[in-house]
Structure 1
Amino acid sequence: MLGLIAALVVLLGGQDAAAPDKGPIRERSPAVAPRNPSDNQRLATEVAGIFHQVFPHWRLRCDDSDFVRQRIQFDVTVDREGRIVSGPTMVDPQDDAAWRATAESARRALIAAAPFDVPEGFAGGRYRPTFNAASACAAR
């Protein structure tokens, strides 16, 4: 379990924040602004937990070194009920067969995992989860 949590930290590190509808992805402001760092940590933990639900759906090919070396990001908007309402859209797609295959497997897993179980009071938002195949394989 700790291995999966560590993988999530790497997987989502700095990339799980929501943004307004315009402009680049940046850290989101929750419905009620956190009053202290522990509130920010709680929000980050909640978002990591939401995207952790993708792992059981991701068909990992850990014996394929081309697969394992890939790191894929998506822009995705999740509503307050855990439904994907926009995306997932690949960020910086690459013209490489291994990257495309890994990205497609992660995209399918993201879609299959929805609707996500979300904590009470979850506001939803725009997120950029990162799928790091090496970390996911290491956490198996």
Structure 2
Amino acid sequence: MSVEDVTPRAAYEALRTDPDAVLVDVRTDAEWNFVGLADLGEAGKQPVLIPWQVYPTMQVNGAFTDYLRKAGATPDSKLYFLCRSGVRSVAAGQAAQAAGFQNSFNILNGFEGPPDAEGHRGNVAGWKAEGLPWRQR
């Protein structure tokens, strides 16, 4: 299965304009707490927070798709998966597709993107670097 990549800006526009669009942030509790979250207030939405891997062991969350259903996702939902750099979100999108959520998308470069020349994230690409709304938890 192939999860379609979308830019952070395209994902944000879909989240703002499409009532069936849902942002699923698959990072860990530590990342949500210390790095920040996408702010969807303008869209009247909140991100759905479901870790793909459970900190600190980073074992894959075996109940991931069950949590998607509990969060209200349906086969008609358009799910936009977000992680730190766009890797875990692909795996989460593939699992979602396998569970019947065909409208699954990967947000390219994730929330923070790749590191810059000094090793810092959030400056080169991704949600934060695009200047999209975000907040500390």
Same fold at TM > 0.5 = no
Structure with more helix by fraction: 1
TM-score, length of structure 2 as denominator length: 0.28
Q: For the pair shown, which has the larger CA radius of gyration, 1 or 2?
A: 1
